[in-house]
Amino acid sequence: MSRVVVRGPDGAELTSLDLPDGRVLLLGRLPDKRAAAELGPEVADRPVEAVPLGGTCVSANHAAIWRDGAGVSVRDIGSTNGTWLCLPQRQTVHIPTPDAEVQLARATGNEGAADEPAAPKWSRADEYASAIANSIQQWLDGHKVKVQAKVAAEPAANEPAQWRLPLATGQAIDIESDVTLHTRSSGMIEQLLRWTERQNVTFETEEQTRREGMILASTAIRLAHREVVEASKNGARAMLLTGPPGAGKEMLAEVFHLHSGRSGPLVALNCALLNKDMLHAQLFGAEPGSFTDAKRRMIGAVEQAQGGTLFLDEIGEMNSEVQPMFLRFLDRHEYQRLGQLGQVRRADVRVVAATNRDLREATRLGGFREDLWWRLSVWVVEVPPLWQRPDDVSAYLATIRTADGSSTLREALSPEAHDLLRSYRWGGNFRELRNFAERLSRGVHKKTIDVASCRRELERSAITSFAPIASAVDSLPADWTTLAARAVQAYKEDREREPSSWNEQKEWTEEYLKPLLFYQMSGAASHPAPAPGDAEALTLLANKCAARMKADRLTARKQLTRYFERFRT
């Protein structure tokens, strides 16, 4: 009696078989005894025993094996990936020994594809598994790999999945195929496993933030969230968050602190609320008598945040005399308490700064130190306004119950009302949305909330006249490519070539495309153009455009200045 060990693509043992005299074993994923007809007359009279083996790289009818005198014979039956023999040392290929090892679909290594699946699109935990499966399926289809990626059902105890990708939700993705796959697919599955592990880390990180109360549904805010987590985990000493008030900068600072892994506290300080002496004292501490009413020692925020994170909100409003002291602290981790000249202290603190100003423009105009800008701008994360995150509006409304508790606001909204809220500008961002939801949930006692009810509640607190986002883009030309082509042409005229490198693309966007877009979207074209050199008229126009676009006035002036300097007709 011979003994044959059969191994799969990864070398793992699939089965160990006794090979009786006079019998042919037909190995394969779905072996069909009729395939034995091609083995030839030498075994035509022998009975055939089908031996099913798992593995999508194993062909349906892969190989036959039988006793041949004192040895063993193996024949590949036209499999996709071939059949390989593992021979005893110093033995020739005719396998004269009674025992042998056979490897089906020998793995050719872990070479995968050069790319990877697109980022999955999901906004709720219950959508995660299907989103992962969809991204994987599209990727495999693009590489013409004939498999199905499916969210796994509960597997039977005796039917383990051939290829399984575990998910952070406790679910899994099964990779299934009805045909034989090339062994390179093994490398691609290894690639998918690593990709899925990264997606699981992202999922767990986002779920942790959601449990803390932050809405993460839109792609824009989730990308900002990932940048903050990446900066924190990579040990960033300082990070700058830019964006309008109420967009979530403080919560992202908390995310940064949470993922830093540091034991110290998170300490917050608003730079706009204090004058020079008080800011110095609040930031670095003060000794008794160092300023009026300083009757006892004050421990500053830097010292309080030792071993943790300091969050400085509205950094753009920091007093110009305090800025060089703060820069020194960032560079050397050194500071002095007010009233304690010459006594240098040190603190191990990471800094998250935030601003709703155009800090780049403020730096250009001299309102913010250039060296401090360069120190803070190692990591800059732009927090998008709520009007760019309509999925976050829907997700937040899904967390608020109506007055009678019968449903959420999201469920109660008519389709038209829901569309209205997703297209609204939300000048106050989440602060405005929270107030609106509170009023609406108290005042509405019907199953369906209509457009009129929403409009009435929005107008109660609106600073400017009510207008959905769509009104701001009414003036855009039908063909957006016209603007892009005009910007490229202007760049070519100025530089004698089209933008090609990444830095040139950024320069083209900033100096040519953005001014054109702002001029069109802000409605500037409907107002008389200020005469060249008329700074007052330019400022008035910029203020009007800034109000319409919900933009910073400095930003509006910068974009209009660039437009009139380059594109004035």
- 376 with 493, same domain: the answer is no
CB 71 within 8 A of CB 91: no
For residue 356, give the DSSP letter. Answer: S
* pLDDT tens digits, 314-328: 999 998 889 999 999
**Does 115 fall in a domain?**
no
- 428 with 345, same domain: the answer is no
- 247 with 373, same domain: the answer is yes
How many helices and strands in the chain, by DSSP H and E?
A: 19, 18
For residue 235, give the DSSP letter. Answer: T
- 468 with 485, same domain: the answer is no
Name residue 136's amino acid: I
CB 277 within 8 A of CB 214: no
Output the domain CATH number for residue 70.
2.60.200
Name residue 410's amino acid: R
Q: Distance between CA 237 and CA 174 in Å, rounded?
A: 42
- 240 with 356, same domain: the answer is yes
313, 348, 382: which is the final residue of a domain?
A: 382
| Percentage, residues of the chain above pLDDT 90 | 35
Instruction: Look at residues 22, 190, 203, 32 and name the one whose alpha carbon lies nearest to residue 112.
Output: 190
- 257 with 375, same domain: the answer is yes
Virtual torsion, Cα 197, 203, 208, 209, nearest 10 deg: 130
Distance of CA 272 to the CA centre of its chain: 32
382, 415, 431: which is the final residue of a domain?
A: 382
CA angle 240, 509, 558 (to 5 degrees): 70
CB 221 within 8 A of CB 389: yes
185, 211, 237: which is the final residue of a domain?
A: 211
**Does 185 fall in a domain?**
yes
Virtual torsion, Cα 329, 332, 337, 338, nearest 10 deg: -60
Instruction: Give the burial string for 445-475 (b: 16+ CB within 10 Å, else e).
Output: eeeebbbebbbebbeeebeeeeebeeebeee
Strand-pair partners of 267: 310
**Does 524 fall in a domain?**
yes
Pairing of strands 63-68, 71-76: antiparallel
Q: Three-state DSSP class for 335?
A: strand
- 224 with 205, same domain: the answer is no
**Does 391 fall in a domain?**
no
**Does 19 fall in a domain?**
yes
Strand-pair partners of 174: 150, 164
- 368 with 226, same domain: the answer is yes
Output the domain CATH number for residue 369.
3.40.50.300
CB 225 within 8 A of CB 255: yes
Lookup result for tokens 């599209």: 138
Q: Distance between CA 143 and CA 117 in Å, rounded?
A: 11
> Three-state SS across 152-193?
CCCCCCCCCCCEEEECCCCCEEEEECCCCCCCHHHHHHHHHH
- 497 with 544, same domain: the answer is yes
CB 132 within 8 A of CB 104: no
**Does 110 fall in a domain?**
no
**Does 206 fall in a domain?**
yes
Total tally of structural domains belonging to the chain:
5
Q: Which domain holds residue 182?
A: 125-211
- 200 with 320, same domain: the answer is no
State the pTM of this model.
Answer: 0.64
Instruction: Look at residues 415, 421, 464 and name the one whose alpha carbon lies nearest to residue 440.
Output: 421
- 229 with 372, same domain: the answer is yes
Task: Per residue of the chain (569 residues), give pLDDT as tens.
Answer: 677 787 776 667 778 888 878 888 888 878 888 877 777 777 778 888 888 887 666 777 788 888 877 777 888 787 776 677 765 555 444 565 566 677 665 544 445 567 889 888 887 888 899 999 999 999 888 888 778 889 987 654 444 445 789 999 999 998 877 665 555 666 777 788 889 999 999 999 999 999 999 999 988 899 999 999 999 999 999 999 999 999 999 999 999 999 999 999 999 999 988 877 788 889 998 888 777 677 788 889 999 999 999 999 999 999 888 999 999 999 999 998 888 777 899 999 999 999 999 898 889 888 899 999 999 988 999 999 998 899 999 999 999 988 777 789 999 999 999 999 998 889 899 999 999 999 988 866 566 888 888 998 898 887 766 655 544 444 445 467 778 888 888 888 888 888 878 878 888 898 999 999 998 888 887 788 888 888 888 888 888 888 888 788 888 889 999 999 888 86
Q: Distance between CA 9 and CA 257 in Å, rounded?
A: 45
The sheet that has 83-86: what strands, in order across it? 13-19, 2-7, 99-104, 83-86
CB 100 within 8 A of CB 6: no
- 256 with 231, same domain: the answer is yes
**Does 118 fall in a domain?**
no
